Amino acid sequence: MTAKYSIVIVSAGEREWQDFTESAYRSIGKQTLIDYELILVDNGGRNRGDVNFDKMVPFAEAANAGAAKATCKKLILLNNDVTATGDLLAKIEQYGTPYCGAVRLIKESVEYIEGWCIVIDKDLWHILGGFNTIYKNSWEDVDLAWRLSRLGVTPCVIPIPLVHVWGATRSRYEGSNRWDEENRQYLLSRMREAKEWKWQRLG
Protein backbone atom coordinates (compact mmCIF):
# COMPACT_ATOMS: atom_id res chain seq x y z
CA MET A 1 0.00 0.00 0.00
CA THR A 2 1.28 3.46 -0.93
CA ALA A 3 1.97 5.73 2.04
CA LYS A 4 -0.49 8.57 2.52
CA TYR A 5 1.57 10.74 4.89
CA SER A 6 4.89 12.52 4.49
CA ILE A 7 6.43 13.55 7.82
CA VAL A 8 9.03 16.33 7.61
CA ILE A 9 11.29 16.98 10.60
CA VAL A 10 13.86 19.79 10.61
CA SER A 11 16.97 19.37 12.76
CA ALA A 12 19.24 22.36 13.29
CA GLY A 13 22.88 21.71 14.11
CA GLU A 14 24.73 18.70 15.46
CA ARG A 15 23.60 19.05 19.06
CA GLU A 16 19.92 18.97 18.12
CA TRP A 17 20.34 15.76 16.17
CA GLN A 18 21.68 14.09 19.29
CA ASP A 19 19.37 15.76 21.82
CA PHE A 20 16.07 15.66 19.96
CA THR A 21 15.90 14.44 16.38
CA GLU A 22 16.82 10.79 16.77
CA SER A 23 14.49 10.25 19.72
CA ALA A 24 11.67 12.09 17.91
CA TYR A 25 11.62 9.98 14.77
CA ARG A 26 12.24 6.76 16.69
CA SER A 27 9.28 7.44 18.99
CA ILE A 28 7.06 7.98 15.94
CA GLY A 29 8.27 4.73 14.41
CA LYS A 30 7.54 2.78 17.59
CA GLN A 31 4.01 4.16 17.97
CA THR A 32 2.81 4.32 14.37
CA LEU A 33 1.28 1.38 12.52
CA ILE A 34 0.26 3.24 9.35
CA ASP A 35 2.79 3.51 6.54
CA TYR A 36 4.43 6.90 6.15
CA GLU A 37 7.31 8.63 4.44
CA LEU A 38 9.90 10.26 6.72
CA ILE A 39 11.93 13.20 5.44
CA LEU A 40 14.69 14.48 7.73
CA VAL A 41 16.23 17.88 7.08
CA ASP A 42 19.71 18.27 8.56
CA ASN A 43 20.07 22.03 8.77
CA GLY A 44 23.69 22.91 9.42
CA GLY A 45 24.58 19.50 10.85
CA ARG A 46 26.65 16.63 9.49
CA ASN A 47 24.64 15.87 6.35
CA ARG A 48 22.76 12.91 7.80
CA GLY A 49 19.33 13.86 6.51
CA ASP A 50 17.37 13.32 3.33
CA VAL A 51 17.87 17.05 2.74
CA ASN A 52 21.08 18.68 3.96
CA PHE A 53 22.30 22.23 4.42
CA ASP A 54 26.00 22.74 5.16
CA LYS A 55 25.22 26.12 6.71
CA MET A 56 22.12 26.80 8.78
CA VAL A 57 19.29 28.45 6.89
CA PRO A 58 16.04 29.93 8.30
CA PHE A 59 13.45 27.40 9.44
CA ALA A 60 10.95 28.27 6.69
CA GLU A 61 13.53 27.57 3.99
CA ALA A 62 14.57 24.28 5.59
CA ALA A 63 10.96 23.13 6.01
CA ASN A 64 10.12 24.06 2.42
CA ALA A 65 13.07 22.04 1.16
CA GLY A 66 11.90 19.00 3.10
CA ALA A 67 8.31 19.41 1.94
CA ALA A 68 9.50 19.63 -1.67
CA LYS A 69 10.67 16.01 -1.32
CA ALA A 70 7.26 14.79 -0.14
CA THR A 71 5.44 12.33 -2.38
CA CYS A 72 2.33 11.68 -0.26
CA LYS A 73 -1.06 13.40 -0.21
CA LYS A 74 -0.79 14.63 3.37
CA LEU A 75 2.12 16.65 4.69
CA ILE A 76 2.99 16.69 8.40
CA LEU A 77 5.50 19.27 9.59
CA LEU A 78 6.93 18.44 13.00
CA ASN A 79 9.49 20.05 15.25
CA ASN A 80 12.18 17.67 16.36
CA ASP A 81 11.52 18.39 20.05
CA VAL A 82 8.48 16.09 20.13
CA THR A 83 7.82 12.61 21.45
CA ALA A 84 5.01 10.43 20.14
CA THR A 85 2.92 8.94 22.95
CA GLY A 86 0.50 7.16 20.61
CA ASP A 87 -0.23 6.52 16.95
CA LEU A 88 -0.44 10.07 15.63
CA LEU A 89 -1.35 8.95 12.10
CA ALA A 90 -4.25 6.84 13.35
CA LYS A 91 -5.56 9.92 15.18
CA ILE A 92 -5.14 12.14 12.11
CA GLU A 93 -6.98 9.51 10.04
CA GLN A 94 -10.09 10.13 12.13
CA TYR A 95 -10.30 13.70 10.82
CA GLY A 96 -10.65 14.61 7.18
CA THR A 97 -9.67 18.27 7.46
CA PRO A 98 -7.25 19.83 4.96
CA TYR A 99 -5.44 21.92 7.59
CA CYS A 100 -5.10 20.92 11.22
CA GLY A 101 -2.66 20.35 14.05
CA ALA A 102 -2.10 19.98 17.77
CA VAL A 103 -2.46 23.61 18.93
CA ARG A 104 -4.65 26.40 17.55
CA LEU A 105 -3.84 30.00 18.49
CA ILE A 106 -4.74 33.55 17.41
CA LYS A 107 -2.36 36.38 16.55
CA GLU A 108 -3.42 39.65 14.95
CA SER A 109 -6.92 38.22 14.42
CA VAL A 110 -5.47 35.28 12.46
CA GLU A 111 -6.43 31.85 13.74
CA TYR A 112 -3.56 29.47 13.02
CA ILE A 113 -2.02 26.10 13.81
CA GLU A 114 1.19 26.48 15.81
CA GLY A 115 4.13 25.56 13.64
CA TRP A 116 5.57 22.70 15.69
CA CYS A 117 2.84 20.35 14.40
CA ILE A 118 1.03 21.22 11.16
CA VAL A 119 -0.96 18.76 9.06
CA ILE A 120 -1.92 20.03 5.61
CA ASP A 121 -2.98 18.65 2.24
CA LYS A 122 0.10 18.67 0.03
CA ASP A 123 -1.86 20.19 -2.84
CA LEU A 124 -2.80 23.15 -0.64
CA TRP A 125 0.79 23.53 0.49
CA HIS A 126 2.01 23.69 -3.10
CA ILE A 127 -0.75 26.10 -4.17
CA LEU A 128 0.51 28.50 -1.50
CA GLY A 129 4.17 27.82 -2.20
CA GLY A 130 4.80 26.60 1.32
CA PHE A 131 6.08 28.91 4.04
CA ASN A 132 6.92 32.48 3.11
CA THR A 133 10.72 32.55 3.44
CA ILE A 134 10.81 36.29 4.18
CA TYR A 135 10.02 35.42 7.82
CA LYS A 136 13.01 34.87 10.09
CA ASN A 137 12.15 31.85 12.22
CA SER A 138 8.78 33.00 13.51
CA TRP A 139 5.34 34.05 12.20
CA GLU A 140 5.64 31.87 9.09
CA ASP A 141 2.93 29.65 10.56
CA VAL A 142 0.64 32.66 11.08
CA ASP A 143 1.24 33.86 7.53
CA LEU A 144 0.45 30.38 6.19
CA ALA A 145 -2.88 30.38 8.03
CA TRP A 146 -3.70 33.88 6.82
CA ARG A 147 -3.17 32.85 3.21
CA LEU A 148 -5.22 29.70 3.74
CA SER A 149 -8.05 31.78 5.21
CA ARG A 150 -8.18 33.78 1.99
CA LEU A 151 -8.92 30.48 0.24
CA GLY A 152 -11.69 29.72 2.73
CA VAL A 153 -9.64 27.11 4.63
CA THR A 154 -9.90 27.27 8.43
CA PRO A 155 -7.70 25.51 11.01
CA CYS A 156 -8.91 22.54 13.02
CA VAL A 157 -7.27 21.40 16.25
CA ILE A 158 -7.16 17.66 16.92
CA PRO A 159 -5.81 15.63 19.88
CA ILE A 160 -2.57 14.42 18.32
CA PRO A 161 -0.65 12.20 20.79
CA LEU A 162 2.58 14.17 20.95
CA VAL A 163 4.51 15.72 23.81
CA HIS A 164 6.21 18.95 22.78
CA VAL A 165 8.98 20.60 24.77
CA TRP A 166 7.97 24.15 23.89
CA GLY A 167 10.89 26.50 23.31
CA ALA A 168 13.53 23.80 23.64
CA THR A 169 14.88 24.46 20.15
CA ARG A 170 14.05 28.15 19.81
CA SER A 171 17.64 29.15 20.53
CA ARG A 172 18.92 27.11 17.58
CA TYR A 173 18.45 30.14 15.33
CA GLU A 174 20.48 33.10 16.55
CA GLY A 175 18.42 36.24 16.99
CA SER A 176 15.00 34.57 16.73
CA ASN A 177 13.52 36.65 19.55
CA ARG A 178 14.91 39.83 18.04
CA TRP A 179 13.11 39.13 14.76
CA ASP A 180 9.66 38.61 16.25
CA GLU A 181 8.53 42.22 15.93
CA GLU A 182 9.99 42.58 12.45
CA ASN A 183 8.12 39.47 11.35
CA ARG A 184 4.90 40.71 12.94
CA GLN A 185 5.13 44.05 11.19
CA TYR A 186 5.77 42.35 7.87
CA LEU A 187 2.59 40.27 8.22
CA LEU A 188 0.57 43.33 9.19
CA SER A 189 1.84 45.15 6.10
CA ARG A 190 0.77 42.22 3.90
CA MET A 191 -2.66 42.21 5.50
CA ARG A 192 -3.06 45.97 4.97
CA GLU A 193 -2.03 45.69 1.32
CA ALA A 194 -4.52 42.89 0.73
CA LYS A 195 -7.31 44.92 2.35
CA GLU A 196 -6.47 48.01 0.31
CA TRP A 197 -6.43 45.97 -2.89
CA LYS A 198 -9.85 44.54 -2.01
CA TRP A 199 -11.27 48.02 -1.38
CA GLN A 200 -9.93 49.23 -4.71
CA ARG A 201 -11.61 46.35 -6.54
CA LEU A 202 -14.90 46.95 -4.75
CA GLY A 203 -14.67 50.63 -5.60
Domain count, the chain: 1
* CA pair distance 22, 61, nearest whole angstrom: 21
Which residues in 81-95 are b (16+ Cβ under 10 Å) and which e? bbbbeebbbeebeee
The pLDDT mean for the chain works out to 91
Structure pTM? Answer: 0.92
Beta bridge partners of 42: 11, 52
* CA pair distance 1, 101, nearest whole angstrom: 25
User: Confidence class of residue 203 from pLDDT cuts 50, 70 and 90?
Assistant: very low
User: Confidence class of residue 179 from pLDDT cuts 50, 70 and 90?
Assistant: confident
10 Å Cβ neighbour count for 63? 28
Domain limits for position 169: 5-202
User: For 109-155, how does the pLDDT look when each residue is reduced to its tens digit (9 = 90+)?
Assistant: 999 999 999 999 999 999 999 999 999 889 999 999 999 999 999 99
* CA pair distance 164, 56, nearest whole angstrom: 23
What CATH number should be reported for the domain holding residue 36?
A: 3.90.550.10
pLDDT given for residue 43 in this prediction: 94
Compute the average pLDDT of residues 81-90. 96
